[in-house]
Amino acid sequence: MEYGTIEREIYIDAPPEIVFEVVSSPGHLKEWWPDDAAYDTVPGSPGEIVFGDRDADGTVVGFTVVDARPPESFSFRWTHPVGEVAAPGNSLLVTFDLAPKGQGTLLRMTETGFREMGWEIAVLEEQYREHNTGWDFYLPRLAPYVARLESSR
């Protein structure tokens, strides 16, 4: 198996402008992915996302915006230690590409950088599997969240 890239593609019944907002804004992000998120959507801005309870056994992860081109693309680096500058070799790169499709949006997610992390093969395989499983769990939450958001507008 190649442990280099994770790719997913989902259709969301909302325009790209709305989907972009939901995948790029910390307030929306924490409704479908991490438990908390704090960052500016300006490229180069460092921040963090939190899985679980920050004050208990939660995991705080570095998060740095790489590119934000509404409503077409949003990318970030994550998994680097909080306080370190995100770069290839200490973080993974996630890109959300959005394209209009019918009345909605086709979202393509890619996550790369696993091999560049310098992990031993067992750690590489474990991290790749965990991220694969994670995206399988979290990405399907996007469309229902957008639907709830749209119905409340």
Domain residues of the chain, as ranges?
Answer: 5-151
Average pLDDT of the chain to the nearest whole number: 95
- 72 by Cβ neighbours in 10 Å (0-12 / 13-18 / 19+) ranks as middle
Q: What is the pLDDT averaged over residues 44-64?
A: 94
Instruction: Indicate if the pLDDT at residue 136 is higher than 80.
Output: yes
Chain-centre distance for alpha carbon 20:
12
CATH number (3.90.1580.10, 3.40.50.2300, 3.30.530.20, 3.20.20.10) of 5-151 reads 3.30.530.20
> Would you say residue 2 has pLDDT above 80?
no
Res. 3: pLDDT tops 80 = yes
Instruction: Write phi, then psi, for 132 (nearest 5 degrees).
Output: -60, -50
- Cβ-based neighbours of 95, under 8 Å, separated by 6 or more: 67, 73, 74, 75, 109, 110, 111
Give tens-digit pLDDT for 89-127: 999 999 999 999 999 999 999 999 999 999 999 999 999
Contacts of 87 (CB under 8 A, 6+ apart): 77, 80
Per-residue model confidence as pLDDT tens digits over 59-98: 999 999 999 999 999 999 999 998 899 999 999 999 999 9
pLDDT of residue 27 exceeding 80: yes
> Which pair of tokens denotes residue 93?
């790169």
**Mean pLDDT across 41-66:** 94
